A = this chain, B = another copy of it.
Amino acid sequence: MNEPKKTVEVCFTPLLFPEKVTKESYIVVIVDILRATTSICAAFENNVKKIIPVPDYEKARQYKEKGYIVASEKEGKVMDFADFGNSPFNFLKKEVREKTIAYCTTNGTKAIDMAKDCDKVVIGSFLNLTALSNWLKNQNKNVVILCAGWKNKFNLEDSIFAGALAEKLLSDKNFISHCDSAMAAIDLWNISKNNLLKYIEKASHRHRLKKLVLDDVLEYSFTPNSSEVIPVYKNNAIVNIN
């Protein structure tokens, strides 16, 4: 008899994260393209040793007092106590190589915290799209793609990434989906994939970044497959297992 197929689901925001995920056997992929999960992939590409995701700003301040390198921003602005903010370019500097970074952001690290009791939690971005898809295909588990969104709202950039990843997984006959969100995400990915930067022009978060003069990260964030990292969350920290 054939083994039952594994399911692929997409949650467009943390508010839609299904309760069952913490009880059953799932891998949760955390997605915050602008910018936490892109930055985490960049960090491991740059040989950062470990990232400690911190769910609130008070705890992030405490990490700084303990002597950690701290990356933290709130609504696109660097926190006063932090070493730097949320741009992936900060995580590519040579000063952070082999170091541990405590990291707290508006949306991304909160989504990681929400999933922390799940069986396995992994970090996804366009940087590691194909590597992550191949790794997931070898895990033989149901997959939930959790978009961090913006303050619990749907956003386009996380959703098109979710579609890209869902489409790759469903091209493998061992995966199946009955999830309308996954179907919609795949359609949005197929509309946008030939010109991601143009498509993302209409995303509201892009406009927030532009106001903050931070949109130099866009081309980097939307270029697929520059990295083979597989950042996995375990024992309160994220490490690269690839």
Question: Which residues of A are in contact with B by a Cβ distance under 8 Å?
Answer: 12-13, 15-16, 150, 152-156, 159, 178-181, 183-184, 187-188, 191, 202-205, 207
Q: Are B178 and A154 in contact (CB under 8 A)?
A: no
Main secondary structure of the interface of A (DSSP, over half): helix
Known A15-B16, A16-B15, A191-B187; contact A153-B180, beta-carbon cutoff 8 A: yes
Q: Are B188 and A204 in contact (CB under 8 A)?
A: no
Residues from chain B with Cβ under 8 Å of A203 in the complex: 180, 183
CA distance A181 to B188 in the complex (A): 11
Known A180-B203, A183-B156, A187-B188; contact A15-B15, beta-carbon cutoff 8 A: yes
Q: How many copies does the complex hold?
A: 2
Residues from chain B with Cβ under 8 Å of A159 in the complex: 180, 184
Most-contacted residue by chain B among A154, A156, A205 (CB, 10 A): A154
For residue A179, which residue of chain B has the nearest CB?
A: B204
Beyond A150-B180, A179-B204, 16 additional pairs, beta carbon < 8 A: A12-B12, A12-B154, A16-B16, A16-B153, A153-B181, A155-B180, A156-B183, A178-B207, A180-B203, A180-B204, A180-B205, A183-B202, A183-B203, A184-B184, A187-B188, A188-B188
